[in-house]
Structure 1
Amino acid sequence: MFQSTLELLSDPPEGYLLPSVDVIGGIGQIRANLMKDAYKSQVEFTLDLARVFAQTADGHFDYNPALLNVFTFRSLTSLVSVSDDGLGVPRIYLYDDFAKSVINDTDVWDIKSIDDVPITEWLETQSFQVSSQDPDAKYNALFRNSVATDFQGTGNYFVLRYAGEAPDSQVIKFTNGTEYMDELVAIVNEALVPFIGSPESIHSVVELPSNTTSSSTSAMSSSPSSSAATPTSTQIPGYPLPVIKHASDWISGYFLNGSDYEDTAVLAILAFSPSELDTANGTFEIVEAKRVVDQFLKEAREAGKTKLIIDVQANGGGFVAAGFQLYNQLFPKSTDVWDGNRIRANEALNAIGMTAQEVSPRVLLDFNKAILDETLKPYEDWQALYGPKLIAGQNVTNILRYNQSAFPFSRSKDEQVFEPQNIVVITDGGCASTCAIFTGLLVREHGVRTIALGGRPREHAMQAVGGVRGVEVLNFVSLRAAIRQTARDAIRADYLDYLEDAFDVLPDIGEPPLLPSLARSGGKFNYRNAYSRDNADGYPEQFVYEAANCRLFYTVEMIINPVAIWTRSADVAWKNAKCVNGSTMNSDMTISDDLVPYSKEVIGLNLDYEGPGSPLYKGDYEPPSPYVQRRTNNKRSFVDNLSPPEDFEYEFNKLKIGTLKQYLEQNALEYLKYAPNHNIGISHAVQKQLL
């Protein structure tokens, strides 16, 4: 119920490009199947559950059933999508064939089909597993199509197969009539090898909760990624020598060579945080990012650079403060930086808020950091903040904004170096979360143009931001911790009325004894929806179609050399080079300031889903019920059910900059003043805010 988009997913507006899915209904249908003993195996059940989450196409919303982490089913073959000239629709090749053709300058044949299914249709169907909300971004993620995705370890989703949907082999047929037998493999998690022979052992080790009750149990996870990127000393693998780069490699700056590009600089932003977020020093990462960009802008000004390319290929987000900091460095005179958002209103949220503002103000502030209204004035109390208000068919809070003066970076006092018309953003559609926030500010507040790369082999517009556009992700463990601490404080203060009234809808604070634990699932949800300044009472950005100003397909040169992407983008942005037909409003196919409007041509194809949660699914529905039933109306029984484990400690957000005292001094409003309770330990947070 805390996922911010539930109603909109079940009945999306025109402009949303994917099929609808009823998450709550789908889970109820799965529950009905369980009640009827309709599943033949635990794997069949977990696959149904995983598919419901996959259909939401939300990179912030995920529940990864532990059983699906035992094996990874995959191909050992990668693909690449290549256009002859960047304008003609691309063809699909085996990556190894592509690499050989580049090295040896030999011709290779493109792929016609897989198991007799036309290649584009097969790939579009396979792309359902990618969490982007745009079909072109989903399609792009299947390939090894850029140095950026190779370095980040993203993309290449073609190799992954769902359990139960992976044959032993697949026949790849080429356009010259030859065939290649793609042998699929199952890779087992090394730590689980000793238990593979026994279903009982696998269930015990993988699915049952561990003995610890700590909220910080680490999650098991799987990914198509290879190893995490390791910071390099002088340059990023695959990229030219930079003018300057971040010590953790996620920002780097370049000056283009040649008389045609001597006025052009490039800022490559692979992410807004390092790849190893769990061990990152947030203070260092953000301070280092400011140093790098400040120095880059200084050198660009001194070198006479007047045009800027911002490359956000493979950028899935990161520290939200890093996104706002970069925006401030590019546009230092912009003071009212729009960050309007809303939370889905629900009975459990209101009960937590009403209780926490009285007994756990510091938990409320940690759990809900956006506490200002649209005019940046503080709400009087929780009731004023909460509302609720009916917006676009769902009950949500009033508009919320952050106290940005408390963000952990110093504001730029320098002059603006690049004018908006001299900035262009290039993206592969995977731009998500903090990247979506940053790019949205450039586009909507300043009219900066965008160029989208790759996508489906069709001549039409493509969205620049195809990843999740929500502004805050929380994991289930963090939500449970906030409820536990609020409940503990409420019990001590004998302030239980709101929690007791909402008991049947509060997320359970314990671990169900026979199901995968929340900590092991790595589960998370989108807590806040983003709204544009001019549509704050409309649909959230996640459901609004917004095409890029231009589109290009990847050529051979663009795949192997990022400089080719940058020079081609400069030609499009400032030298009247052509865009893909249908991707721009200009009749001569040059980049336009206006955006191509939504049309049904861009809707995702071959993504039909008929399982639980689909409008096409005909199964029974079993309504939800709390795992721990209220046994009696006796207050003692209620307190027992709500009490957290004795060794539980609430852990504050470890990515917050400064001490708790400093944070509260900067952020706390009068109604949220905190009197220290020395019986409650304070330590680093479990919560990861990878936005």
Structure 2
Amino acid sequence: MLCRSLFYTLFCLLWASVTNAAPSRKSTASLTKREAQPQSTACGDIVRDASVNQFPASKVYECLTSVPFNPAVASRFLKYYKDSTQFQSTLAYLKSPPASYLQPPVDLLAGLEVIQTRIDTGAFENQYEFEATLQRLIYAAHDDHFDIAWGITGVFAFGTRYRIVSVSEDGIELPQVYVASDIFQSQQDGGVWKPSPIVTLDGEDATKYLTRFAAENSIGGRESHTDWQQLMSSPAQVIQGIPSVWGGGATFYPGEKLVIGFKNDSKVTTEWQGIFLGDSETGALETGGDFYNSFVLGYWPASYDPEPAPETEEEEEEEQEDESAASTQPVATPTSTTIPTPTGWSNGAYPSPDIAQENLGYLGGGFLSGYYLPDDIAVLSIPSFQEYGDTVDEYSATVGRFIETAHSKGMKKIVIDLQRNMGGDAFLAIDTFKQFFPKIDPYGGSRLRAHPAANVMGKAMTDYFDNITSDDYDYTYLYANEWVASTRLNADTDERFESWEEFFGPHVSNGDSFTTTQRYNLEDPLFDTLALEAYTEGFIVSGYDKSVAEKTQLFAAEDIVILTDGVCASTCSMFVEMMHNEGGVKTVVVGGRPSYGPMQAVGLTRGVRSYGIDSQLDSDIAETQAIRDFNSQPADFLPDRSTALEVEITYATLNLRDQVRKGEEIPLQFQYDAADCRIFFTPDTVINFSNLWKYAADAMWTKPELCVKDSTGYANTDATSTKLPPADLLPAQIPVETSEVKLGTIINGIFNSNSRLGSGIEADITGKTASEPPAVIVAKRCQPDPDITNEYYCPDVNKYCDVSYAYCSTTTPPKRIPRKGCVSLCSYVGYQCGKKTTGGTCVALPDNSYQLQGTIRGFCATPLRRKGAVCPKVAGKPVKEGEAAIPRKGRRDGDELFEDMEEY
């Protein structure tokens, strides 16, 4: 073993690098001052108003464009990001895609070089121009695994109060766009009142406007149908606490006002809204320079102390006595104020479920629900594959119970609803597939991009792992690591890789190099558990537990249909691939642009491994460096991580592994796979999923005329072939555009090599500097609830009462002090929540001592879904024990951003 373990060695090295590096960064946060100009206080106005999290978009834009630009910091970050991007698996295919790919090509590495040239020539006048340009390049990859939330663009989103839906009057005619609440009201009135569709937006044809808006702001769509679909409101997204792109998830400034024109000649003028997603505890931020220091560099203002004074020993003893006394009080009898465990979705589009996973809801962690409809149709709704801890076993058991009950009730057909399923744990998708098709061993082939840095990392980690024993701490830590080859299967031989060299290859395809195609070793229970990344123990994929008898297939493939709305990503795409191409199940897709023709059931990323740059990649590089340093080997081929922590990153991810079919080279990300049938939403299906499920079933099994004109006949169930429809039936590629004139000029230069040279950039970044990480982190106490015995809450509505909170004492050696503490709300375990220069976690070390580790502030109360973590403002009464934060993906936040909008 190295030191006590590599993990502990790395902790020592990384902690030392953080504490020693902070003072040296003081000199990087200053530039030559410009001539004195009145400084905008828009950022201060936003931060000071803690009672709301939404503001006029124009105010947000004024704040964003007042944030100064530091080219030196930007250049160092861009180098860090470019070094990381070489691990993105799709670079060559993005640069030169096959005809089956329906988005424009993009050379990511060349684009990053162009951005660096723009920095060098002074093109960026503020931080927003730089971040928005980089963000637009990232979006051009059309891969929601390749994403970032950082700096000032990571703390704002844009949207309108008027949510929209795209609806066909009869399911046959082309759909029109309506205000969602109008459709809801019309259906409530029994269809007596007919709403008027939207025909213009700011005087422009509504379809043209929305198509451009979708191309600019939607994330990861592999065709423009899916970009469009992400603008539309969906109950399947509302129940996950995620707004539509149009309703609060847009990245780029859309303008000050929006004029909505209706077919009946009426008009509505509304103000675009900006949503603040940042930490509510920022201290006194007034100017754009303050904002830069806080959200780009991660520095607290010098005048602000975010941490309370450490408790005295007397206070600690008093609190422990109070808690001890409280624990002896009788448990309160449930009253009418007790919140019941949800058994169904609190959204009218969903009927009451016949079967549901425990703790249904994104706050509880359960997503599965089952319904047994008339006409012997059973529906399994899976809006997410993201589960944690005990919910993993509950998930698998619920799937099995649904199938068995459907069979015992005499159900003849199965509809699996995957609307707005953005992915989750791959092994849960495999588990679900195996419960429907127990005799099929899924292929699940994938591969990495083979490049020098990957070779160094894999060689170091695989060789180290192969030479330690199972009782070594690092054995479990590395067992399912992406860079350990010997626990995975060679797809050509179905045997474990014998060496890293066998795994690495490389194999040339489309002018780039890739590793040997790998498969999961599903028969290995330790690999199943550790690869799941769901914080559970003893998980084995259904069908691979030798102690359990093999299940019988209860429903034939022809009696199952998968329903999606195109917004299906990552693990969802993997599930559809198994069910459709290996199981033979047909697919129905609903929605898309107002045009006839086919649409893909999987419209988002088909990559199979979202990989955190600032978390997993940096950690794996550090692990490799520790191994090579121990062996006195240089690390010349590893990306430079020396500036990794200079800027504030909420999350940054890339696609590490492509999904490939057996015997094929083109990744599924670039394959075209039309659904067997496409349908449009109608007024009575867009807000009533019982009607939608019946409509989809009818279209597939009894009424094929319900399928959209020219949408059938292009699906394939042969795993080695893909049909491409005629060009006139495919959605058009949408060129890169942006609504902001000057920014558009810069962005367009990224894609067409035009040059815009600006004057030298000078910015005044205020002289606030970082302090060293504090020695003690103490959360404020939870307060006893005056209404409910043995319940606690936090007076600060942005805090969560963590009853298991603990901190490190000031004694030598430090000890773990338990307490009920108010800690920052988070939405994903393992990611930063708050400023990186403060905070930490009191962890147990291998020698059973406790120490403040890392600089991750906040406690992730209920690990939820997606990437990243934020500490959002939560409106309403104080957050009670057991509640958690609202999750977000990209620049999205909130179950309902605008209180005056009806939920449907």
Give the superposition deviation at 1:194: 4.8
Correspondence for 2:449: 344
Contact 2:437 2:583 in 1 (8 A): no
- How far residue 679 of structure 1 moved from its aligned partner, in angstroms, is 13
Q: 2:126 aligns with which of 36, 41, 45?
A: 41
- Deviations along 1:168-219, one digit per CA (max 9) or x if unpaired, are 10211122222111211233346167544222221111111569xxxxxxxx
Deviation per residue, 1:266-307 (Å, 9 max, x gap): 111111124xxxxx32xx122111211111122112111221
Q: Aligned-pair distance for 1:264?
A: 1.8
Task: Look up the equivalent residue of 2:481 and give its one-letter code.
Answer: D
Which residue pairs with 2:510 in the alignment?
Answer: 392
Q: Tell whether 2:422 aligns with 1:316.
A: yes
String of CA shifts for 1:317-340, please: whole Å, max 9, x gaps: 111111010001000111x31111
Question: Which of 282, 286, 301 is the aligned partner of 1:197?
Answer: 286
Matched, 1:55 2:168: no
Indicate the residue corresponding to 2:623 in structure 1: 485
CA–CA distance in structure 2, aligned partners of residues 418 and 127 of structure 1:
39
Shift of 1:246: 1.0
RMSD value, Cα = 3.1
Q: What pairs with 1:491-510 in structure 2 (closer than 5 Å)?
A: 491-494=629-632, 496-497=633-634, 499-500=635-636, 502=637, 506-510=638-642
Give yes or no for contact 2:716–2:723 (8 Å, CA) kept in 1. no
Pairing 1:527–2:663 present: no
Residue 556 (structure 1) aligned with residue 700 (structure 2): no
Quote the Cα distance in structure 2 between the aligned partners of 1:55 and 1:241. 41
Q: Deviations over 1:442-484 (max 9, x none)?
A: 1111221100000000000000011111111110121001111
1:107 and 2:194 are equivalent in the alignment: yes
Contact map agreement 1:154 1:314 (CA 8 A) in 2: no
One of 409, 414, 425 as aligned partner of 2:540: 409
CA distance in 1, matches of 2:669, 2:850: 38
Answer yes or no: is the 8 Å Cα contact 2:560–2:586 preserved in 1. Answer: yes
SS in 1 for 2:724: coil
Residue in structure 1 matched with residue 353 of structure 2 by the alignment: 242
Of 200-209 and 153-162, deviating more is 153-162
Aligned partner letter, 2:691 = A
Distance, in Å, in 2 between the alignment partners of 1:127 and 1:473 is: 23
**Kindly tell me: are residues 291 and 191 of structure 1, through their superposed partners in 2, closer, same or farther at Cα, counting changes over 3 Å?**
same
> Matches of residues 623-662 of structure 1 in structure 2 within 5 Å?
none
Is this contact kept in 1: 2:166–2:175, CA < 8 A? yes
Counterparts in 2 of 1:231 and 1:489: CA distance versus 1, 3 Å: farther
For 1:139-172, what per-residue CA distance to the aligned partner results, in whole angstroms no more than 9, with x for missing partners? Answer: 111011x421221234521134767633210211
- Aligned: 1:93 with 2:178: yes
**Distance of aligned partners of 1:183 and 1:333 in 2 relative to their CA distance in 1, 3 Å threshold:** same
What residue in structure 1 maps to residue 254 of structure 2? 166
Are positions 1:420 and 2:564 aligned together?
A: no
Give unpaired runs (5+ residues) of structure 1. 212-229, 275-279, 622-652, 656-676
**Partner residue in 1 for 2:754:** 618
3-state SS in 2 of match to 1:487: helix
Of 107, 118, 128, the match for 2:205: 118
TM-score normalized by structure 1? 0.80
Hey, which of these two has a bigger chunk of helix by percent? 1
Q: Give the distance between the partners of 2:490 and 2:866, measured in 1 at CA.
A: 24
Can you give the 5+ residue segments of structure 2 that lack an aligned partner in the other structure? 1-85, 301-338, 361-366, 467-474, 529-538, 544-549, 738-743, 758-827, 831-845, 857-862, 868-904
State how far apart, in whole Å, the 2-side matches of 1:177 and 1:185 are. 25
- Greater CA drift, 169-178 or 456-465: 169-178
Return closer, same or farther for 1:688/1:107 CA change in 2, 3 Å cut-off: closer
CA contact (8 A) 1:287 1:409 kept: no
Q: Distance in 1 between matches of 2:716 and 2:667?
A: 25
Q: What letter corresponds to residue 666 of structure 2 in structure 1? A: Y
Checking the alignment, whether the CA contact within 8 Å between 2:342 and 2:359 is kept in structure 1 is no
Q: Distance in 1 between matches of 2:461 and 2:864?
A: 21
In the TM superposition, 1:21-40 aligns within 5 A as 21-40=106-125
Task: Say whether residues 1:444 and 2:572 are aligned partners.
Answer: no
Q: Per the alignment, do residues 234 and 492 of structure 1 end up closer, same or farther by CA in structure 2, a change over 3 Å counting?
A: same
**Higher Rg:** 2
Q: Which whole-Å CA distance do the structure 2 matches of 1:44 and 1:468 have between them?
A: 27
Q: Which moved more, 1:146-155 or 1:131-140?
A: 146-155
Identity of aligned residues (%): 28
1:94-145 deviation digits (Å, cap 9, x = unpaired): 123222322233122111111122111111111122222222121111011x
Spell out the pairing of 1:352-367 with structure 2 (5 A cutoff): 352-359=457-464, 362=475, 363=478, 365-367=480-482
Query: SS of 2:213's equivalent?
Result: helix
Provide the rounded CA distance (Å) in 2 between the counterparts of 1:450 and 1:556.
Answer: 22
Query: 2-side partners of 1:34 and 1:360: how far apart?
Result: 43
Q: Partner of 2:643 in structure 1?
A: 511
**Cα distance, 1:365–1:296 mapped onto 2, change above 3 Å:** closer
Please give the alpha-carbon distance, in whole angstroms, between the structure 2 residues aligned to 1:136 and 1:404.
35
**1:559 aligned counterpart, secondary structure:** coil
> 1:265 corresponds to which residue?
378
Aligned equivalents of 2:570, 2:717: Cα separation in 1: 24
Task: Select the residue among 134, 140, 150 that pairs with 2:223.
Answer: 134
Question: In the alignment, residue 380 of structure 2 is paired with which amino acid?
Answer: L
d(CA) in 2 for partners of 1:452, 1:439: 12
Q: Retained in 2: the 8 A contact 1:140–1:155?
A: no
Deviation at 1:240? Answer: 1.6
Change (3 A) 1:688 1:345: farther
State the one-letter code of the partner of 2:517: I
Q: Distance in 2 between matches of 1:333 and 1:685?
A: 47
1:372 and 2:489 are equivalent in the alignment: yes
2 CA distance for matches of 1:312 and 1:472? 19
Question: What aligned pairs does 1:655-670 form with structure 2 within 5 A after superposition?
Answer: none
Task: State the distance in 2 between where 1:184 and 1:27 align.
Answer: 31
Amino acid at match of 1:54: Y
Asked whether the 8 Å contact 2:154–2:650 carries over to 1, the reply is: no
